[in-house]
Structure 1
Amino acid sequence: MHPFLFSIGGFNFPAYGFMVAAGYLAAILYLHNKDYRGALTRDNAADLIFYSAAAGILGAKAVFAATYWQELGPDFASRLVFVFRSFPYGFVFYGGLAAGAAAFLFYCRRRKLDFLRTADNFAPALALAHGFGRLGCFLAGCCYGSPSGGFLSVAFSDPKCEVPRALLGTPLHPVQLYEAAGNFLIFAGLHFLGRGKAGSLRGTVLAAYLASYSALRFSVEFLRGDDRGGFAAGLSPAQIFSAVFAAAAVFIFIRTRKNGKSNI
């Protein structure tokens, strides 16, 4: 596809980085115009965006390094150098989600904010930003799909993309587009859920996000063709994480229905 949008003075501007930045901006604009129903102030929202995003980036990079550590170089020093040199790319979403959620929870407790109410407000923005990020994956050629003969298949031809040379020109499942579309649909669903009566109970929107994205990611993983680390019981690491987060969604949903506390 188009791993680099343009070059200035010998610097190639990556499409992936552009789409990640676009997703971050879209999430900020969405949260800036959101009615928080007294759950938090706009200053709190700005702080949460910054700290959660920073922690998410570090967590996503750390899990990527841990997953592919043996493949990054012949020794510890060379692997560490690779991690820092490759910082603009090479991330694992679930690592970012876990680290970002930890920072989010820490901030909420420090500021005495209701975690579930606050997370309900932020969940749609996360799906929105993630959708843009997956479009960046498609442009860069990373997180590519397995060979496919279907009418939706795409073939990558640019040797600068992340698809292995052996697969250039081979029709592949556009799993990045599947997940981008899924995330945008999740965003729309969560947005309207949060505005309706069904989403008035605290934690409902968060649980819906965790459940829907886990189902999406678990399904899409079967069509991935890239190396994603070791498998356990035939499942990829992302599918195992999906099962964990789906269980968390069920726990939050049950607890929410039991407590019956409203977001209003």
Structure 2
Amino acid sequence: MYPVLFHLGKIPVHSYYLIWTAALCLALEWTRHRAESAYGMGAARVSKVLFWGFIGMMIGARLGGYLDFWEVYAADPSRILRFWEGGMSSMTAFLGGGLTALFLLRREGSPIWPLAEAAALPAAALIFVGRWGCFLNGCCYGFVTGHPFGMHFPFDPPGLFRHPSQLYESLGAGLILFALFLAERVWPPLERRARDGALLWPLFMIFYGGMRFLLDFLREGDRIMGLRTGQLVGGAAFLVGLVWLVVSAVSSRRRGKVLV
């Protein structure tokens, strides 16, 4: 593992923050470009929603980080104020950013489909790249295993291997990105999907939510009712995405078009 990639003078540059920050910046810029060029959203509106959506993502990510290790913070609540400690959660980050964007668009009377469709591929790419930051940092690791895919982590004694759950999730996100890439080109034109109902974002919710629900059985961490926070949010995302996709399909068929 390489938690510190290099130093700028005496300042350490941590792999976790560098890679996740770079991945997030690329995802936001790609979303902005797609929303404006492919879905015809105004630049000012996109910038506003993405800015506040980013704030919502950071709040959601931090709250998820607390829930992932709630026993630690329950034992010492004062640690909640130590913002420089602890990690973040991607599932609650998407939840926070999505709810913030939904609130702003609904308040303006704007449709949510264009931005949702524009953000789907960048969201998958964000996870694909960002989880390498977790791997290099040595966090978000899995349970001890004798499986051939197990890896040795530096903090463990020699001969002990764990599931590299960070790499599992990165690989899964890469497959999701490829599936969404194909769906965007196989199904109806972008402008018609944006008008008649979303396809890509519901698919992302189904794929990623289902993947997190399954993969988090392999990850260590505190649990609520036997499940990690990512599993609870992921399971809910899977169900909401499935309902959203069905509603979009039914709505499209009633208009005499075919969405899925």
**Fold agreement, TM-score > 0.5:** yes
C-alpha distance after superposition, 1:138-173 (max 9, x if no partner): 01011001222333222122xxxxxxx345762211
Q: Which runs of 5+ in 2 are unaligned?
A: none
One-letter code aligned to 1:177: L
Note the alpha carbon deviations across 1:14-34, whole angstroms, 9 max, x for none. 001111122123214433543
2:132 to 116, 135, 138: 135
Instruction: Please name the residue that 1:170 is paired with.
Output: 160
> Displacement of 1:204 after TM fit?
1.3
Measured after TM superposition, the shift of residue 113 of structure 1 is 2.4
Mean alpha-carbon deviation: is it higher for 186-195 or for 132-141? 186-195
Tell me the CA shift for residue 46 of structure 1: 2.8
Q: Does 1:206 align with 2:201?
A: yes
Corresponding residue number in structure 2 for 1:162: none
- Is the contact made by 2:117 and 2:198 (CA closer than 8 Å) also made in structure 1? yes
Moved more, 28-37 or 43-52: 28-37
Letter in 1 for 2:13: F
Tell me which residue corresponds to 1:40: 41
- Backbone CA RMSD of aligned residues: 2.6
Tell me what 2:244 maps to.
252
The 3 A distance-change label for structure 1 pair 27 and 168 is farther
Q: Tell me if 1:27 matches 2:18.
A: no
d(CA) in 1 for partners of 2:160 and 2:4?
21
Partner of 1:103: 100
| Letter paired with 1:189 | A
Q: Is the 8 A contact 1:36 1:121 kept in 2?
A: no
Distance change (3 Å), C-alpha of 1:243 and 1:23: same
Q: Deviations over 1:175-199 (max 9, x none)?
A: 1011011112212221331233257
Long gaps (5+) in structure 1 = 158-164
| TM-score, structure 2 normalization | 0.85
State the percentage of identical aligned residues.
24
The number of equivalent residue pairs is 250
Which whole-Å deviations, capped at 9, do the CAs of 1:176-227 have from their partners, x for residues lacking one?
0110111122122213312332573522111100000012112211221x21
Counterpart residue identity of residue 129, structure 1: L
**Judging changes above 3 Å, is the alpha-carbon distance between structure 1 residues 29 and 191 closer, same or farther for their aligned structure 2 residues?**
farther
TM score, norm. by length of structure 1: 0.84
